[in-house]
Amino acid sequence: PYAGPPTSEILRKRTQFLNPTMVHLYKNPLNVVAGKMQYLFDETGRRYLDAFGGIATVGCGHCHPEVIDAIIDQTKKLQHSTVLYLNHAIADFAEALASKMPGDLKVVFFTNSGTEANELAMLMARLYTGCQDIISLRNGYHGNAPTTMAATAHSNWKFNVVQTGMHHAVSPDPYRGVFGSDGEQYAKDVQGIIDYGTSGQVAGFISEAIQGVGGVVELAPGYLPAVYNIIKKAGGLCIADEVQAGFARTGSHFWGFEAHGVVPDMVTMAKGIGNGIPLGAVVTTPEIAQVLARRIYNNTFGGNPVCTAGGHAVLKVLEKEKLQENAFIVGSYLKDRLEALQEKHDIIGDVRGRGLMIGVELVTDHKLKTPAKAETLHIMEEMREMGVLVGKGGFYGNVFRILPPLCFTKDDADFLVDTMDFAMSQL
Ligand code: PMP
């Protein structure tokens, strides 16, 4: 039984003492007191199926015992800064992570968050190339520090401060974009930005393979190979932001970029890497990594023993429990069921995504694609009442983001779709 303070008390403290822009997903904010695998529990002991926790915890699920044990064991032995002495936890995890990477991507820099990882990757791109200009995609999200906020191309997340050296290319969005699924057409915009907006040379390009915050937008096929070629010709480096799509989530591949047949110069990651603990990383080549040797670069807690012991345990669990395969099987099943639901309910404009990273976009008019924002909120509330938690995103806030822990089952998928179906039928 839960013995903590009542929800009203927590809400009062949050309102009085915490960041006023923190969002509540629900009208009556949910107070979660415990988690187990794909479930969350509120203060009354009510269980919820968590179909959004995957943005913070990878497939292992909430409080996976093997990850917890690894964290506790290491906490009992030593928790310290990363930079002063040798410790095996960070070295072992770096080796294991590098083994999951293609090509020459073998050097790991650990950070505490995705923002830090992307800041570092873009810093290295600028140092390596001697150029300032970076191209990112409209509708992308990369973080909230100066360079990452500049790269984030979503006015909801941008503050009015100086953001230099950043250009935003048209997002190759197969549903809303003007060129549909023709990736190569969208890529021409990147060439145009280089030709008309820069000296002809750039530091690099950063993008997600599937835009998460932007509403689970899978980049049009053919886009990334064409853009990577254009960027290489302009002397730049390509950065894959795998903060949401990485770590087996897409099912077909371990990393999101792999589905596009490209090999980036740098890969950034966070969230799922640690199943909920603060950890991020940049993985790059020895040659690019060398640029930081010009000065001293370190991060007091990035890759500390406790977090890296946890991260290493996550990798082992992903493999042992075949969670990539599960993401593929259950994700395909869930997507099929949602596509069938689209036939039934006119409000569903698009079902998209890969593996257990799925978006359902709601519109009031199929031709005009008018965002059904109020309906999205209403259905989300109704699903919560029925015990299912989904996320929401997209520029207009009209896309359900379904990113469950990767241990999600077909029964869970059925329950999710049935509640969505019921809520839509009641509209
Ligand atoms: N990149 C992507 C794709 C993200 O979704 C996020 C977080 N929403 C970030 C970077 C930033 O990560 P963090 O919040 O850990 O700084």
**359: β partners:** 352, 401
Tokens of 37: 């695998």
Out of 276, 302, 320, a domain closes at 320
Q: Are residues 46 and 89 in the same domain?
A: no
Which of 219, 244, 257 for a ligand 1 pocket mutation test, highest count of atoms within 8 Å of Cβ?
Answer: 244
Query: Which residues 6+ apart lie within 8 Å of 296 measured at CB?
Result: none
Residue 30 gets which letter from DSSP? -
Whether ligand 1 lies within 6 angstroms of the CB of 243 is answered as: yes
Whether ligand 1 lies within 6 angstroms of the CB of 213 is answered as: yes
User: Going along 215-293, which residue ranges are E strands?
Assistant: 217-218, 237-241, 266-269, 280-284
pLDDT for the residue numbered 4 = 83
Is position 231 within any domain? yes
Give me ligand 1 centre to Cα 401, in Å.
15
Q: Are residues 352 and 391 in the same domain?
A: yes
Whether ligand 1 lies within 6 angstroms of the CB of 54 is answered as: no
Q: Are residues 205 and 330 in the same domain?
A: no
What count of other Cβ atoms lies within 10 Å of the Cβ of residue 15? Answer: 10
pLDDT for the residue numbered 1 = 61
Give me ligand 1 centre to Cα 157, in Å.
12
pLDDT for the residue numbered 54 = 86
Domain carrying residue 409: 7-60+322-425
Helix runs in 205-354, H state only: 223-233, 286-289, 305-320, 323-344
Q: Are residues 88 and 229 in the same domain?
A: yes
Is position 378 within any domain? yes
Collapse the DSSP code of 140 into the 3-class scheme (helix H, G, I; strand E, B; otherwise coil) and give the result.
coil
ipTM of the complex model: 0.99
pLDDT for the residue numbered 55 = 82
* Residue 242 burial class via C-beta count within 10 angstroms: exposed 0-12, middle 13-18, buried 19 and up: buried
Q: Are residues 158 and 276 in the same domain?
A: yes
Which of 152, 271, 299 for a ligand 1 pocket mutation test, highest count of atoms within 8 Å of Cβ?
Answer: 271
Is position 346 within any domain? yes
Q: What is the rounded distance in angstroms from the CA atom of residue 216 to the CA atom of residue 213?
A: 7
CATH number for the domain including 45?
A: 3.90.1150.10
Q: Are residues 56 and 175 in the same domain?
A: no
Is position 2 within any domain? no
How big is the chain, counted in residues?
Answer: 427
Q: Are residues 234 and 372 in the same domain?
A: no
pLDDT for the residue numbered 175 = 98
Q: Going residue by residue through the chain, which has 427 residues, state the pLDDT in tens, using 9 for 90 and above.
A: 678 888 999 999 999 999 988 878 899 999 999 999 999 999 999 999 999 998 877 678 999 999 999 999 999 999 999 988 999 999 999 999 999 999 999 999 999 999 999 999 999 999 999 999 999 999 999 999 999 999 999 999 999 999 999 999 999 999 999 999 999 999 999 999 999 999 999 999 999 999 999 999 999 999 999 999 999 999 999 999 999 999 999 999 999 999 999 999 999 999 999 999 999 999 999 999 999 999 999 999 999 999 999 999 999 999 999 999 999 999 999 999 999 999 999 999 999 999 999 999 999 999 999 999 999 999 999 999 999 999 999 999 999 999 999 999 999 999 999 999 999 999 9
Please give the tally of structural domains in the chain: 2
Query: Which residues 6+ apart lie within 8 Å of 206 measured at CB?
Result: 118, 121, 122, 134, 135, 136, 140, 142, 151, 238, 239, 241
Give me ligand 1 centre to Cα 152, in Å.
10
Is position 383 within any domain? yes
301 CA to centre of own chain:
22
* Residue 354 burial class via C-beta count within 10 angstroms: exposed 0-12, middle 13-18, buried 19 and up: buried
Q: Are residues 201 and 262 in the same domain?
A: yes
Give the position, in ligand 1's atom list, of the atom nearest the Cα of 271: 15
CATH number for the domain including 202?
A: 3.40.640.10
Residue 199 gets which letter from DSSP? S
Is position 1 within any domain? no
Tokens of 207: 């993008």
Q: Are residues 192 and 283 in the same domain?
A: yes
Which of 171, 243, 403 for a ligand 1 pocket mutation test, highest count of atoms within 8 Å of Cβ?
Answer: 243
Whether ligand 1 lies within 6 angstroms of the CB of 270 is answered as: yes
Q: Provide φ and ψ at 135, rounded to 5°.
A: -110, 130
Pairing of strands 388-389, 370-371: unpaired
pLDDT for the residue numbered 24 = 82
Whether ligand 1 lies within 6 angstroms of the CB of 331 is answered as: no
Whether ligand 1 lies within 6 angstroms of the CB of 48 is answered as: no
Out of 320, 337, 371, a domain closes at 320
Which of 21, 23, 55, 115 for a ligand 1 pocket mutation test, highest count of atoms within 8 Å of Cβ?
Answer: 115
Q: Are residues 149 and 252 in the same domain?
A: yes
Q: Are residues 194 and 244 in the same domain?
A: yes
Is position 202 within any domain? yes
Whether ligand 1 lies within 6 angstroms of the CB of 113 is answered as: yes
Q: Are residues 177 and 244 in the same domain?
A: yes
Query: Which residues 6+ apart lie within 8 Å of 124 measured at CB?
Result: 237, 266, 282, 284, 288, 289, 291, 292
Out of 299, 320, 341, a domain closes at 320
Is position 413 within any domain? yes
